[in-house]
Every structure is written in structure tokens, then in C-alpha cells.
Amino acid sequence: MLGICSRSNLRMRNLYMECECSDLSHTVRWCLDENDGELWLEFHLRYAVPWYKRVLNAVKYAFGIRPEWGHYDITMIKSEDRDAIIALLEESKRLTEKAAQKESE
């Protein structure tokens, strides 16, 4: 699903993708800044643990104790979303080149 957010000088194009497994928490949002071509990903880090374990994790975090592998989850890209990703990456490249050209003038 493709969406556009436009506020004053901020113009963002968002592409939402669900995981092949259809778990809503595995949804990824690709964000394209149409002003400068910057592109990034946002994804949900799932915490399906009881409240007391979350508190323990918060205390560990406050003292700089982190999990060995970090806080990651994965999202498998559906084959029908690949063309949308390619189009978004190509648009990001075009806008980045355009912004660089403006800066050099």
C-alpha cells in the first residue's frame, strides 16, 4: 500500500508492506523524503513478554546491559511487493541526484 504525507515543506511517500506470514506486527514502512530523496525503513520491534519482564529489560537497559543480538525482528518481502520497492529505490535515486544537482548550482 502506497501513501503520501504532505505537510508544508515535508513531502513523504510511504510504502507499507506486510510480511508473507500476514502477522501485522511484521509490517514494514519504507519512507521516501521527496525533497531530498532520503529513504529509510521503519519496523516494529515486538515485545510479547509479561510486564515484569519488560520492567526487568528496562532496568537492564538503564544500566547498559543489552541482549547479545540486539532487538531485531524480520519481515519477509512478498514477491508482488518487489516491483514497488524497485520503483521506490529508483525514485529515491532520481530525487537524490536532483537534490545534489541543485546544491552544486
Q: Could you read off the pLDDT tens digit of each residue along the chain, which spans 105 residues?
A: 455 554 455 678 888 888 878 877 778 888 888 887 777 888 766 666 788 887 887 888 788 887 665 555 556 667 788 888 898 889 989 998 998 898 888
Q: Where are the extended beta strands (E) located within 8-105?
A: 10-17, 28-33, 39-43
Q: Are 85 and 75 in contact (CB under 8 A)?
A: no
> Closest Cα partner for 16 from 85, 73, 72?
85
Residues 11, 34: Cα–Cα separation, whole Å: 5
pTM recorded for the entire structure: 0.52
